[in-house]
Amino acid sequence: MNRPCIIVLLMIVSAAQLSGNDVLSAEAITQNWQAEYSGSDSNGPTVIGHWQFDKGAETADSGRLGLSGRLDGAVPATAGKFGGGIESFPGFPIDDKHHAFMVADHPELSPTGAFTVEMWIKPKPQLREASLAYLIDKKYASKNDYQWLLSPPDPAGRRRMNVVLGFGEDTETFITDFLTFEQDVWQHLAFSYDGAGTVRFYQNGSSVGNVTRPGRLGIAAGNLPLSIGDRIGSNYGGFPGYLDEVRISSGALEFSPLTISLTVDRRVWRRYEPSSEIKVTVRNQQQKPLSGAKLRLLGPGWIDREIDLPTLPAEEEYTEQVSFDTTLRPDDYVLQGQVRVEGDYPMSREESLLLKLVPRRVPGRMPVLMWGIGSPDEFEKELPRLQELGFNHCLGFSPSPSKVWEAGKPVPTEGPVTINSVKDMLDSALANDFDIAASLYAGHFLKDRKDLSRVDRNGQPYQRHDCNAALPGLQEFSENYGRSVGEMYGDHPAFVAALINSEVRDSTHVSFSRYDQEQYRKFAGEEIPAEVTDKIGPRWNTIPDFPKDRVLPDDDRLLKFYRWFWTVGDGWNPLHTALHRGLKADGRDRIWTFYDPAIRAPSIGGSGGEVDVISQWTYTEPSALRVGYFCDEVFAMAAASGKPQDVMKMTQLFWYRSSSAPKKTGQEFIASPFDDHDPDAAYISIAPTHLRSAFWNKIARPVTGLMYHGWSSLVPTDGTHAYKYTQPDLQTEFKRLHRDILKPLGPTLLKVPDRQADVAYLDSFTSQIFAGRGSYGYYHDEAYLTLIHAQLQPEVIFEQTLLKKGLDQYKLLVLADCDVLTRSVVDQVLAFQQRGGIVIGDPNLTPAIKADIVLPKFVRSKRTQEDQKTILQHAAQLKSALAGRYEWYAQCTTPEIVTRTRAAGKSDYVFVVNDRREFGTYVGQHGLVMEDGLPAEGTLTVSRDSGHVYDLQATREISAQKTDNKLSWPVQLGPCEGRLFLVTPTPISSVQITGKESTPAGKPIELLVSILDPMSKTVPAVIPLEVKITDPAGRVAEFSGYYGAEQGQLPLKLDIASNDRPGMWKVHIRELASGQTGVAYFRVLDAAAENEK
């Protein structure tokens, strides 16, 4: 059945109306090949050689170079196509002798770019018995120049035209389909090479094939002579017939009176996506009108139309627009366009366009982004490895902002070549179910401009330059830049995300320009305080008359300034927002923006502006558990932003060698296993166990994606990058974690929120400003790790969040490094204590608050094993101090096995990670990082009186004991291993699939998958499912994949395509908690048969 297809007319465009590169060139105008070449067609500047073999001048070259030849086995023929010609004869195995016309080597016989070779031939009957028949040879056995021949015949006597081009180090062969070469009939043959990988073949003006070898450029010049009618050497393969009018020209010449082109912005679409219009253009290449042409458009399953074209004036074209039907089933489709003209030399010209329709994605795939790759070329090269390892996103391109800056408005950021390269990459990504993120670095562009410097109180630029991002006009520029990128690529579904101005804030500083001072004056009604000299305030103990209890009024002048500076004053957050808004303008909300490193700033909301996602990278040395602390700080930053904001987390795939395996010489030298191949490496691959631990610490939290940086430390590359590949097992572990664990469980994890915390950990902005505290995403994780090993699950909160939502939900409040607080925060804490809340402090706590439990202040000593023992000792002391005063919801009897719980309704998701470690032989000999793990076991307890426990990796229910309103079960973990347990209130008994029994092709069918308990009620949990839908031939259909079934149910709407296979379809469901399966069938009816009924 033909599918509906929109055909839109249609215009005839003259060459005079074409602009720029569309004007017809001399090469594009059809050569007058039916007549004998003369004048400039014979000796013009583009003619390299023209041999006509006329009587009396049999060996002469009519061209401008005068490259006369000699007969070497070929003989003159009096009856050529035009005047005389030459006759050649069959070679091996009939007569292994040379039958050629030879021309001595000349540099121009090896064209540096595009060129065309053509001739008239008249085959003799002996062609049937001949094997290879050479028309032109300048390559012979070398890897240079070119060779043109006819292949051995098929049973019907047809042959292929072969062209072999030499590129110096290797060759490429370009071949047509089988063609008929009539005996005793003159016929014109030609091939052209465009100097960029494409050979086009012609027979009597018809295009009979074109082949492209991407990446090829000009041929390599050789020094062999030119042989016409035979091969240069044995085994000889002369052409059994007559040859005339042999011409070699520069440029890729055209021989068809008509050309047809099929063009479209994209060649890959997602199902049901509105498709771009396909432009079909037929052009009259002649310098005279053309009548009687017919155009046929054929796309099996969706279009079959024949159109009588109007008379086309000389050098004019006819255009139509075709819409691709994206409701078809996912597959490869070919649109063929054929134009035919009858006459003395009937001519046809075909072009085809390969279109790919990919399935819509199963909802809920968790992004795994490689923060790297960076260009279309690198993406095409690395895509197989990216997917093999489990990545599904990467940074793919970084448009330059310079043209937008110059124009002062949205404009294309690059030229057509670069834009098309990016679009090709996006097509390739979409075809392979991969997503691309852009790096939008307007901030770095601005930082390079010295005229935008921040200035000190004397109006002089700081020695460490930084752009004053608050200056007028910069937000408008950033928005214009975002709009420019969105307008170029925003409609492509493979362009899904953008990194906004990464790592621009390190060198920020208070600027005292007139504009900055005026902006603060408008905000505060006063001048910038005289005490302000730096982006961080003066230490409290240096400020005269500072309150003895270190409690500041909420409207303190210095604190007011620093709140303003770190939210809007330094300009970066508003700049991020402007870029974000520009990119997402005009309805491009599906593109998500992200900013990192979001917590390399004091703990006050707004870092990253209004971006959709904030993230932070973490180095795992010396302990991968620190990933959890900094991840929780990012969540706190998002909570304080004032808008919904997701969190992703990045792991650095390399370590600084200085902090893991420092290079030493002399008596202090310590050998490392990579000394033989990368002795000077400054950055080395992390250990697989650290990757494993970091992975589990990230997915134990409700992150919406995982990010990684350090491609050249993960896989072997050319070795030029500073990040070195020194641990081959890292990529194996990466693949296991992301393909075997994250892929099936990711859709479920995205639907499971955090369990409401009853432990709060305050990150105090006030103490960071006046006491130099704060982690900045790297430091001071010791107290937090102590809490984790004490089996606590703290939530990091900022002062502004504390004041907004209070402390009512918490039982414990941890105040580490809270030297200075505001009056309102202190009042909240005191009220919390009065209600029975427990405050855990350290020796730095403001005197205004008396801690109920004091944690010893501890800072790492770089004696890693001793540091770990100290943290575990402090955790044990804390756990003992809390005994009888606090009830843990989830805990393990082994302190190195840390726990974390998320919850969906009445079901819990209990994560455990084994942090029992020792020194290994990779970097452990340096004493800084314990990179090897040890097995550990213990008993896991959850404070609920009933439940059924499922191991989501083993896909089975495990036995649990119920005592004292608690549920307990044993855990055994391998080195740095993690595990996820699902605890449901009712057991999983069966999988049920309900829905219609049939649907016509082209109509949807709705199914409902239910995970039931023994009472036939749905299990109230988000349950991971594997869904496989197959047609009668076993072909996997759209929406097969992994899901998270909320409240134990998954509705499935399957849009059966009109060209889907009729018959019995199968739906197979496997739930990944207990391993139960379910199967259902439905019939797809033949739509045509149903219509006939």
The per-residue pLDDT for 670 is 87
What digits encode the pLDDT tens for the residues 44-85?
A: 999 999 999 999 999 999 999 999 999 999 999 999 999 999
**Alpha helices, DSSP H, located in 585-651:** 626-639
Sequence-ordered alpha helix ranges (H) in 715-822: 729-735, 743-749, 765-771, 782-789, 799-805
Q: In this structure, is residue 737 part of a structural domain?
A: no
Report the chain's mean pLDDT, rounded to a whole number.
94
* Model confidence at 26: pLDDT above 80: no
633-667 pLDDT, tens per residue? Answer: 999 999 999 999 999 999 999 999 999 999 988 88
863: in domain: no
Which pLDDT belongs to residue 14?
31
pLDDT at 45: 96
Q: Is the pLDDT of residue 270 over 70?
A: yes
Share of the chain above pLDDT 70, in %: 97
Given a cut of 90, is residue 3 above it in pLDDT? Answer: no
Whether 882 is covered by a domain: the verdict is no
Indicate whether 427 belongs to any domain: no
* CATH for 138: 2.60.120.200
pLDDT-based confidence at residue 286 (cuts at 50, 70, 90): confident
| Number of CB atoms found within 10 A of residue 783's CB | 23
Q: In a 10 Å sphere around its CB, with 0-12 CB exposed, 13-18 middle and 19+ buried, how is residue 417 labelled?
A: exposed
Span 156-185, average pLDDT: 96
What would the mean pLDDT of 233-256 be, rounded to a whole number?
Answer: 95
Say whether pLDDT at 539 is over 70.
yes
Rounded to whole angstroms, the Cα distance separating 969 from 960 reads 5
Task: Give the pLDDT confidence of 976-1015 residue by residue, as tens digits.
Answer: 999 999 999 999 999 999 999 999 999 999 999 999 999 9
- Domain limits at 87? 40-250
**Which CATH number belongs to the domain containing residue 1077 in this structure?**
2.60.40.1930
- Boundary of a domain, candidates 225, 250, 275: 250
Give me the pLDDT at residue 561, please: 99
Q: What is the reported pLDDT for 27?
A: 52
Is residue 333 domain-resident? Answer: no
Distance CA 868, CA 929 (A): 11
Average pLDDT over residues 134-161: 97
Q: What confidence tens digit (pLDDT) does each residue in 440-495 have?
A: 999 999 999 999 999 999 999 999 999 999 999 999 999 999 999 999 999 999 99
Alpha helices in 612-764 (DSSP H): 626-639, 688-699, 711-714, 729-735, 743-749
The tens digit of pLDDT for each residue in 214-225 reads 899 999 999 999
**Residue 1024 maps to a domain:** yes
pLDDT of residue 1092: 63
pLDDT band at 29 (very low <50, low <70, confident <90, very high): confident
Among 187-191, 203-207, 979-983, whose mean pLDDT is lowest?
203-207
Per-residue pLDDT tens over the stretch 334-393: 999 999 988 777 888 888 899 999 999 999 999 999 999 999 999 999 999 999 999 999
pLDDT at 675 over 90: no
Q: Residue 408's pLDDT is what?
A: 98
Residue 519 domain-assigned? no
* Mean predicted confidence (pLDDT) in 494-519: 97
Average of per-residue pLDDT across 679-696: 97
Number of domains in the chain: 2
**What percent of the chain has a predicted confidence (pLDDT) above 90?**
89
Mark which of 228, 250, 272 sits at the end of a domain: 250
Whole-number Å distance between alpha carbons of 944 and 82: 99
Residue pLDDT, tens place only, 396-428: 999 999 999 999 999 999 999 999 999 999 999
Residue 699 lies in a domain: no
pLDDT for res 4: 34
Q: What share of the chain is helix, strand, coil (3-state, %, to 5)?
A: 20, 30, 45
The last residue of one of the domains, among 250, 275, 293, is 250
DSSP E strand boundaries for 204-302: 206-212, 226-228, 241-250, 258-263, 268-270, 277-284, 294-299
In this structure, the strands spanning 187-193 and 198-203 are: antiparallel
H runs (alpha helix) in 585-722: 626-639, 688-699, 711-714
Q: Of 532, 614, 599, 605, nearest to 567 (Cα)?
A: 605
Backbone angles phi, psi at 866, to 5 degrees: -65, -40
